[in-house]
Structure 1
Amino acid sequence: MNPLSRQDHLFGALFADPEVESRWSSERFLSAFLTFEGALARALAESGVATAEQAGAAAEDIASFAPDVAKIAAATLVDGVPVPELLRQLKAHCREESLPAIHRGATSQDLIDTAFVLILRDINALLEARIGSVIDGFAALDAKWGAGSMMGRTRMQAAVPILVSDRIRAWTAPLRDHLRSLTAFRPRLEVLQFGGAVGNRSALGPDGEAVARVLGCELGLGEPGRGWHTERGVFAEYAGLLSMISATLGKFGQDICLMAQQQDGELEMLGGGTSSAMPHKQNPVLAELLVTHARFNATMLPNMHHAMIHEQERSGAAWTLEWMTLPPMTVTTGKALLLATELQGKIVRLGG
Structure 2
Amino acid sequence: MTVSPFDHPILSGLLGDGEVAAHFSTEAEIAAFIRFESALAEAEAAEGVIPAEAGQAIAQALGAFRPDVARLRAETARDGVVVPELVRQMRVAVGEPHGRYVHFGATSQDVIDTGLVLRLVPVLDIFADRLDALVDMLTDLDDRQGQLSVMAHTRMQAAIPVTASRKIASWRDPLVRHRSRLTAIRDQVAVLHFGGAAGTLEKLDDKGSDVAEEASVWLGLRTLPRARHSERDGFAELASFLSLLTGSLGKIGQDIALMAQNEVGEIRLASGGGSSAMPHKVNPVGAEVLVSLARFNATLLAGMHQALVHENERSGSAWTLEWMLLPQMAVATGAALRNAAALLSAISFVAVSRT
* Shorter-chain TM-score above 0.5: yes
1:255-314 deviations in whole A, cap 9, x for unaligned?
Answer: 011112263342111222222222332211110110000000000001011111112211
Shift of 1:224: 0.9
The aligned counterpart of 1:22 is 22
List alignment gaps of at least 5 residues for structure 1: none
Partners of 1:33 and 1:111 within 8 A in 2: yes
Aligned to 2:36: 36
More displaced, 141-150 or 291-300?
141-150
Which residue pairs with 2:196 in the alignment?
A: 196
- 1:178 maps to 2:178: yes
**Does 2:321 correspond to 1:321?**
yes
CA RMSD, Structure 1 to Structure 2 (Å): 1.5
Shift of the alpha carbon at 1:350?
Answer: 4.0
Where do residues 57-96 of structure 1 align in structure 2 (5 Å cutoff)?
A: 57-96=57-96
Secondary structure of the structure 2 residue equivalent to 1:3: coil
Superposed counterparts of 1:274-293, under 5 Å: 274-293=274-293
Q: Kindly provide the CA deviation profile for residues 43-67 of structure 1, in whole angstroms up to 9, marking residues without a partner as x.
A: 1112121222221122222223221
* Higher alpha-carbon deviation: 183-192 or 93-102: 93-102
Contact 1:201/1:227 (CA < 8 Å) preserved in 2?
Answer: no
Deviation at 1:40, TM superposition (A): 0.6
The answer to whether 1:231 aligns with 2:231 is yes
Larger mean CA deviation between 178-187 and 239-248 belongs to 178-187
Contact conserved, 2:171 with 2:252, CA < 8 A, in 1? Answer: yes
Q: Per the alignment, do residues 263 and 294 of structure 1 end up closer, same or farther by CA in structure 2, a change over 3 Å counting?
A: same
How far apart in 1 are the matches of 2:256 and 2:328? 25
Q: Is the 8 A contact 1:152 1:158 kept in 2?
A: yes
Measured in 2, the distance between the counterparts of 1:4 and 1:14 equals 12
Q: Is 1:115 paired with 2:115?
A: yes
Query: SS at the partner of 2:151?
Result: strand
CA distance in 1, matches of 2:189, 2:6: 27
Contact 1:54 1:100 in 2 (8 A): no
User: Structure 2: where are the runs of 5+ without partners?
Assistant: none
Provide the secondary structure at the position in 1 that maps to 2:58. Answer: helix
Matched-pair contact (CA < 8 Å) for 2:239–2:326: yes
CA offsets per residue over residues 170-202 of structure 1, 9 Å max, x none? 000000000111012211111000010111211
Aligned residues: 352
Give the match's secondary structure for 1:97.
coil
Give yes or no for contact 2:148–2:351 (8 Å, CA) kept in 1: yes
CA deviations on 1:57-105 (whole Å, 9 max, x unpaired) are 2222222322111211221111111111111111122232323531111
- Of stretches 177-186 and 271-280 in structure 1, the one that deviates more from structure 2 is 271-280
Amino acid at match of 2:56: G
Is residue 211 of structure 1 aligned with residue 211 of structure 2? yes
1:4–1:11 Cα contact (<8 Å) kept:
no
TM value normalised by structure 1:
0.96
* Paired residues of 2:195 and 2:201 also in contact (CA < 8 A): yes
3-state SS of the aligned residue for 2:345? helix
For 1:308, the equivalent position in structure 2 comes to: 308
Alpha-carbon distance in 1 for matches of 2:331, 2:350: 30
Q: Deviations over 1:212-256 (max 9, x none)?
A: 111111111010111111010010011000001000000000001
Amino acid at match of 1:189: V
Deviation, 1:315, is 0.8
**Partner Cα separation in structure 2 for residue 196 and residue 295 of structure 1:** 38
Residue identity opposite 1:62 in structure 2: L
Does the Cα contact within 8 Å between 2:253 and 2:291 map onto a contact in 1? yes
Partner residue of 1:143? 143
Is residue 50 from structure 1 mapped to residue 45 from structure 2 by the alignment? no
What is the letter of the counterpart of residue 173 of structure 2?
Answer: A
> Secondary structure, in 3 states, of the residue corresponding to 1:96?
coil
Bigger mean CA deviation after superposition, 300-309 or 194-203: 194-203
Partner of 2:150, secondary structure, is strand
Counterpart contact for 1:40–1:101, Cα < 8 Å: no
Q: Secondary structure, in 3 states, of the residue corresponding to 1:308?
A: coil
Q: CA shift at 1:139, angstroms? A: 1.3
On the 8 A contact 2:92/2:99 being kept in 1, the answer is no
Are the equivalent residues in 2 in contact too, given 1:164–1:350 (CA < 8 A)? Answer: no
Identity among equivalent positions (%) equals: 46
Distance in 2, matches of 1:134 and 1:123, equals: 17
Change in CA separation of 1:154 and 1:214 when aligned onto 2, cut-off 3 Å: same
CA distance in 2, matches of 1:246, 1:2: 24
Map Cα deviations across residues 20-42 of structure 1 (whole Å, 9 max, x no partner): 11100111111111111111111
1:229 is paired with a residue of what secondary structure? coil
Q: 1:160 to 1:262 in 2, by over 3 A?
A: farther
Change (3 A) 1:58 1:316: same
Inter-partner Cα distance in structure 2 for 1:107 and 1:277: 58
